[in-house]
Amino acid sequence: MAVLRTLVCLTAIGMFMELAMAANHTVGGASGGWDTSTDLQSWVASQTFAVGDNLIFQYTPNHDVLEVTKADHDSCQTSSPLQTYTDGNTVIPLTSPGKRYFICGTLGHCSQGMQIEIDTLATSTPPSASPSPSSPPSASPSPSSRPSASPAPETSPSPANTPESAPGSPLSPDAPSAESPTLASPPPSSAKKSSFRTCLTLGFGLVLMVLLAL
């Protein structure tokens, strides 16, 4: 029984992950549709299609959807379609990578712009996080770059007139060397962000596991 619950749980989690990662693309966008007034080519150029996504056509009875070959797409040929859809709300799953072609079969509509080419990618590519720039190492001054003291003139002053070197003066041999401390560079900030889809999938999976455990 425990093994059966585990298998059911894993299957359900896999289904939730697939649903969370899949995207629905309504042809024409929110402000358009599968019609002659929508700039369908611009809409296609703004989308990224991946395996697992769904292509949704919503249209009125004077339109339909024909899946055709590239040659029929380019010539607006409607006589030999691969598939024909007329239900007004057609959902086409994108199950494999590659290009697929769709046109409207109503006379003259294809030449008026109702034709699209869908290029499905193998997997969706999430935006890569740009690495945080590393802090340049702070260079401490080398001993050779410090100014050297000018040699004293070779005179023979009397012992009474010879001034003693004040402690801490640049010429005093006992003066401590003033080296600037090296500033520690702050650790690079983490650029990782958890996606909403992953959180949603894990949440569904956790709820399902709790329900199965009861």
Per-residue pLDDT 10s for the chain (214 aa) are 555 555 444 444 444 444 445 899 999 999 999 999 999 999 999 999 999 999 999 999 999 999 999 999 999 999 999 999 999 999 999 999 999 999 999 999 999 999 999 999 997 555 555 555 454 555 555 544 454 545 555 555 544 444 444 444 444 444 444 444 444 444 443 334 445 566 666 666 776 777 777 6
Phi and psi of 146, rounded to 5°? -75, 145
What pLDDT does 211 receive? Answer: 73
Q: Compute the distance between CA of residue 56 and CA of residue 29 in angstroms, rounded to an integer.
A: 10
Tell me the Ramachandran region of residue 76: left when phi exceeds 0, alpha when psi lies from -120 to 50, beta otherwise: left
Strand order through the sheet with 49-50: 49-50, 115-121, 98-103, 65-68, 83-85
66 CB-contact burial (10 Å; exposed 0-12 / middle 13-18 / buried 19+): buried
Domain 23-123 falls under CATH 2.70.210.12? no
Q: How many CB atoms lie within 10 A of CB 101?
A: 19
pTM over 0.85: no
Give pLDDT tens digits for 108-153: 999 999 999 999 999 755 555 555 545 455 555 554 445 454 555 5
For residue 40, give the nearest of 18, 59, 61, 62 by alpha carbon: 59
- How far is residue 10 CA from its own chain's centroid? 27
Contact 134, 188 (CB under 8 A): yes
